[in-house]
Structure 1
Amino acid sequence: MFLVQLDVTVVNVALPHIGADLRTGLPGMQWVVDSYTVVLAACLLAAGVVGDRIGHRAVAVAGLALFGAASLLCGLAPGIGTLVAARALQGFAAALLLPSTLAVVTATFPDRAEQARALGIWAGVSALALPCGPVLGGLLVTLAGWRSVFLVNLPVVVAAIVLTLRRVRGDEPSSGRRLDVPGVLAAAVVLLTLTYCAIAYGHSGVSARTAGAAMVAVLAAAALARWERRAPEPLFPPSVVGDSRFVGANAVAALMNFVGIGVVFVVTLYLQGVRHYDALSAGVMLLPLFAPLALCAPFTGRLAARSGPRLPMLGGLLLGASGAACLTLVTPAGPYAALLPALLGLGLGMGLLTASVVAAALRAGPPSRPGLSSGVNNTARQAAGALGVAVLGAVAGDPADAERFTSGLRWAGVLSALLWIAAIVITLRTVPGRRDRDAPAGRR
C-alpha cells in the first residue's frame, strides 16, 4: 500500500520536469497521472474476484513483481507515449495489490472493532506515503532527475515480495466465482472515454473527437447496465447495488478522491508552474495537506471502532469543504499563507475520512466477499481520482497563463466545496449512526 500511494504523490511533484524533458503540455502531464489511475480503477473489481478465486497472497506477489517491472520501464521511457503506456502497466499491477491488502486485513481480523483498528493501521501505513512522496520526490528530482522517482520503487518491491512470502499466510481459494470479462471491458471503456472527454475538453473545447468519445461513453454505460442485469456473476451484484448503505459509503469515497486527488494535481502545478518553486520546495509546501492524512488515520480507525464511521466522516467532510472553499483566497503572486488554510483543511478532512469511509463500505458489504467489497470501494475511489485530475485540470487550465490558471483554481475550489457538501448529505442519509451501527445492512 505504501508503494502504491507513494507513486501517486512522487509523480505529481515530478510532472513539470517530465513535461519539460519529454516536451509535452498539460494533456500529456494529465495522462501521466490518469493512465495509472484509469487502468487501476478499471481493473480493481476484476482483481478482487481473481484474488477470491486463486488466493490474495498469490495475487499480491504477482502485483508486486509486475509493479517493479513497470517502474523500470517508466524510468527508462524515451518519450511521453512510452511513459504513459508504462504507467498504465503500473496501474494494472496496483490493481492486483489494492484489493488483496484489504482482503488480507479483513480475513485476519474478523471482529468488527478489531477490524476497524486494523484498517486504521492499514490506512495509516498507506497514508504515510503521502507526506513522504512530495519531499522524497522533490529530493530525487533535484538530485537525480525525474526518472529516479520510478526507479526508487525497485528495492521496495524486492523487500515487499520477500516479506509477503515470509509473513502472510496463504488463503483458501474459491473456485466457484467467475470473472465477468464483458463487465470489466465495458467499465474500462466508460472510464477511459469519460477521462479522455474531460482532458480533451480542457485542451481544445468541444470538438468532433470529444463528442464522439462522449457518445462512446454513453453507449458503453448503457451496455454495461444491460449486461450486469443478465450476467451470471456480475461485477456489481444486485445485493450490493440495491444496498443504500454500501452505495452511499462508496459514493462518499468517490467524492473524497475526486476532490483530494484533483486538488493535489492543480495545486502542484500552481506551486511549480505559477509560483516557480523548485520540486523540493513544492514538496515541502504540500506537507500540510499530506501529513494530517498519516497522523489522523490510526486515530480515525479507533474512533470508527468506538462510535461507528458516521461521526468521523461528517467531521472530515466539514473540514475538507471549508479547506476547499479557502482556495478562493489564492492569487497569482499571493503569499503561501493564503494557500495554507486550504491545504490544512483538505488534509485534516481526508485524514478523518479515509479509514472511516473504508470501514463503512466494508461493514455494509457482504461478509463472505471481502475481495468484492474492497474492489468496489477502491474502484470508486480510483475512478473518481482519475476524473478529478481530468476535470479540475480542465477547470484550472494551463499554468503558463498565471492569471487564467489561478482564476480556474479558485473555481475548482468552489466546485470541490460543493461536492463535499453533497457528500455530507449522502452520509446523513445512508451511513448509520452509533445506535444502529451493528444492525445488518439491508436494501432500502
Structure 2
Amino acid sequence: MAGPPRQHVIRQAGQPPRARGLLVLAICCSSIFIVGLDTSALNVALPSIQQDFNASIQGAQWTLASYMLVLASFLIVSASIGDRIGRRRVFQVGLAVFALGSLLCALAPNLGWLIAFRILQGLGGSMLNPVALSIITNTFTEPRARAKAIGFWGATVGVSIAAGPILGGTLVQAFSWRAIFLINVPIAIAAYVLAGRYIRESMAAKRRRLDLFAQVLLVVLVGSLTYGIIELPMRGMSPAILGFFLGAAVVFVVLVWWELRRREPLIDLRFFRSPPFSGATAIALLAYTAQGGFLLLNTFYLQDVLAFSPVAAGLAILPMATLLAVFSPISGRVVARYGPRPSLLIGGLSVLVAGVITVIPHEDPHYFRLFFMYCLIGFGLGWTNAAITNTAVAGMPNRQAGVAAGIASTMRQLGQTLGVAIIGSIIAGQVVEVAQTPAFMRAYHISWAVIGAIGLANLVIGLVSTSPRAMRAAEVNTERMGAAARD
C-alpha cells in the first residue's frame, strides 16, 4: 500500500465551512491566550517567587526575562519551519513543549531550575503564535473573512491581559504561584487534541531549502538585542551591554548581506519594499512598547503608590484590557471594509491623547482621569492591533505567510521588552524606591509623555504607510514578487 503523500497543502478558493473555520480560530486563539496569560499572570506572582526561593528581585525578574528572550529569538524561525514542514505539526509540537515546560515550572525546586524550565516554555511558545496566525490566514482565504478572524485573534490579546493579573492574584492568594503554571497544562492538552482532529495540515506550496546560517544569525541578533534591552535598566551602558548592542548591529549587517545573496532566503527582504508592511512592523514595535511600558508603570503606581492589592490592581487595569478586547474585532471588520488606515489613525490618536492628558499638571490621584486614560490606551491599542496583523500579512504570498506573521509577532515581543526597559530606566533614574511618591510622580509623567510620543509616531507612520501612493507601491511589489516566484 502506498504511503501518504509527503506534503498535504491546503488550496482553498474561498472561505472554509463556517463551523470548522470557527473551531480552527478558537483553537489557534487558545495559543495566544495561554502565552499572554502566562506573562501577565506571573507579574503578580514575582514577590511570592522571590520569597519562596529567597531570591533577589533581579533573580525573580529573570523568570519573566528568560521567557521573553527565548520567545523573541525563535518566533520567525518557528514560523519559517512551520511553512516548510507543516504548520499543524509545528503548532502541536509547540503545545506539547509549552505544556511540559509549564508542568516543570510548577514543580521547580529552586530559582535556577525555574528559569531553565521557563526557557523551555518560551521555546514552546515561539511555535504557537506565528504558526497559529499562519494557520488562520491559510484557513480564512477570503479577505474580509480573514480580517474578521484576525480581529478576534487580536481580541484574545486583551482577554489574556485582562484575565492575567486577576487570575494570577487569585491563584497566588488561594493556592500558590505554582498554580499559575499548572493552569496552562489542560488548556494546551485540549488544544493539542483538537488541533490534530480539526486543523488540516498546510505548508508552503514550494518546499524551500532550510537557511540554517540565517536562522542562527537571527537567533543571535534577536537574542543579543533582547538581552541588552532587558539588562540595560539594571546595568546601564556598561562595556558588556555595549558589546551586546554592537554585536547585534554587526550580526544585523551580516544577516542582510547573507539574505540578499540567497536565492531562497529565510526572510525575504523584498517584504520591506512594501510601505504598508514596513509601516506595520514599525507600528507593532512602537505600539507594544507603549503597552509593555504602560503595564509596568501602572503596576508600580497602583500597588506601591496607591496601595492597591494585586487583585485590585488587576481590576483597575480591566477597562484598558476590556476595550482592547472589544475593539480588536471591530477594527478587523473596519479593516476588511475600508482598509487599515482608519484603524491605525484612530489607534495612534487615542494613545497620543492619553499621553497628553496625563502630563497636564493635576492633583494625584484623580480616579476618573485615571479611568479615562486607561480606557483611551485600551481603545487605541484595540484599533491598532488588528490593523497591524492584517497589514503585515495582506498581499504576501501564502508560501511565506508564516514568516510575515513571525516578523509581526517578533516586533510585538521586542516592543514589550523595549517598553519595560525604557520605562524601567526612567523610574530607576528618578527614584531609589517607588515609595518616594514625589520622585515617582516625576517619572510617572515622563513615562506617560513617552507613551504619548509613541502615539504620535504611530499616527504619522500610519498616515504615510497607508497613503494611496504607498498602497500602489505595495501592489507593484506584490506583483514583482509573484512574477519572480513564477519564474
Q: Same fold (TM over 0.5)?
A: yes
Query: Which one of 436, 441, 456 corresponds to residue 402 of structure 1?
Result: 436
TM superposition shift of 1:218:
2.7
Q: Secondary structure at 1:283's aligned position in 2?
A: helix
Alignment-mate amino acid for residue 16 of structure 1: P
Query: Which one of 299, 305, 317 corresponds to residue 268 of structure 1?
Result: 299
Please tell me whether residue 340 in structure 1 is matched to residue 375 in structure 2.
Answer: no
CA contact (8 A) 1:99 1:371 kept: yes
Q: 1:407 and 1:172 mapped to 2: Cα distance?
A: 52
- 24-33 or 95-104: bigger deviation: 24-33
Q: 1:100 and 1:163 mapped to 2: Cα distance?
A: 16
Q: Deviations over 1:206-237 (max 9, x none)?
A: 33322333332333233323322233432321
Which position in structure 1 is the counterpart of 2:457? 422
Q: 1:138 and 1:332 mapped to 2: Cα distance?
A: 29
Alignment-mate amino acid for residue 238 of structure 1: L
- 111-120 or 338-347: bigger deviation: 338-347
What are the within-5 Å matches in structure 2 for residues 8-407 of structure 1?
8-172=39-203, 176-328=207-359, 334-397=365-428, 399-403=433-437, 404-407=439-442
CA contact (8 A) 1:249 1:431 kept: no
- 152-161 or 196-205: bigger deviation: 196-205
Q: Deviations over 1:380-400 (max 9, x none)?
A: 111222222222222222654
TM superposition shift of 1:194:
2.9
Alignment-mate amino acid for residue 298 of structure 1: P
TM superposition shift of 1:51:
0.7
CA contact (8 A) 1:30 1:199 kept: no
- 429-438 or 4-13: bigger deviation: 429-438
What TM-score do the two structures reach when normalised by structure 2? 0.84
* 230 and 172 in structure 1: CA distance in 2 versus 1, 3 angstrom threshold: closer
Q: Deviations over 1:354-383 (max 9, x none)?
A: 111111111143343211211111111112
Alignment-mate amino acid for residue 321 of structure 2: F
Q: Secondary structure at 1:105's aligned position in 2?
A: helix
Alignment-mate amino acid for residue 298 of structure 2: V
Give the number of equivalent residue pairs.
444
TM superposition shift of 1:251:
0.8
Q: 2:72 and 2:359 mapped to 1: Cα distance?
A: 30
Q: 2:358 and 2:106 mapped to 1: Cα distance?
A: 34
- 65-74 or 27-36: bigger deviation: 27-36
Give unpaired runs (5+ residues) of structure 2: 1-31, 481-487
TM superposition shift of 1:308:
0.7
TM superposition shift of 1:244:
2.0
Q: 1:363 and 1:391 mapped to 2: Cα distance?
A: 31
Structure number with bigger Rg:
2
TM superposition shift of 1:441:
5.4
Q: 1:348 and 1:111 mapped to 2: Cα distance?
A: 27
TM superposition shift of 1:290:
0.7
* 377 and 54 in structure 1: CA distance in 2 versus 1, 3 angstrom threshold: same
CA contact (8 A) 2:204 2:398 kept: no
Q: 1:310 and 1:24 mapped to 2: Cα distance?
A: 47
* 278 and 234 in structure 1: CA distance in 2 versus 1, 3 angstrom threshold: same
Q: 2:386 and 2:473 mapped to 1: Cα distance?
A: 18
Q: 2:269 and 2:73 mapped to 1: Cα distance?
A: 20
CA contact (8 A) 2:289 2:416 kept: yes
Identity of aligned residues (%): 34
* 20 and 341 in structure 1: CA distance in 2 versus 1, 3 angstrom threshold: farther
- 128-137 or 26-35: bigger deviation: 26-35
Q: 1:283 and 1:149 mapped to 2: Cα distance?
A: 15
* 432 and 172 in structure 1: CA distance in 2 versus 1, 3 angstrom threshold: same
Q: CA RMSD in A?
A: 2.7
Q: Deviations over 1:302-355 (max 9, x none)?
A: 111111111011101111122234443699973544532332111111111111
CA contact (8 A) 1:308 1:437 kept: no
What TM-score do the two structures reach when normalised by structure 1? 0.91
CA contact (8 A) 1:324 1:414 kept: yes
Q: 1:377 and 1:242 mapped to 2: Cα distance?
A: 15
Q: 2:89 and 2:126 mapped to 1: Cα distance?
A: 14
- 26-35 or 317-326: bigger deviation: 26-35
TM superposition shift of 1:56:
0.8
* 111 and 237 in structure 1: CA distance in 2 versus 1, 3 angstrom threshold: same
Alignment-mate amino acid for residue 420 of structure 1: G
Q: Secondary structure at 1:368's aligned position in 2?
A: helix
Query: Which one of 433, 440, 447 corresponds to residue 412 of structure 1?
Result: 447
Q: Deviations over 1:128-156 (max 9, x none)?
A: 22212221112111111222111111111
Q: 2:361 and 2:298 mapped to 1: Cα distance?
A: 10
Q: 1:254 and 1:155 mapped to 2: Cα distance?
A: 32
Q: Deviations over 1:69-127 (max 9, x none)?
A: 11112222333333333222222111111122111111111111121112122222343
* 417 and 441 in structure 1: CA distance in 2 versus 1, 3 angstrom threshold: farther
Q: Which has the bigger relative contact order, CA under 8 A and spacing at least 6?
A: 1
Q: Secondary structure at 2:45's aligned position in 1?
A: helix
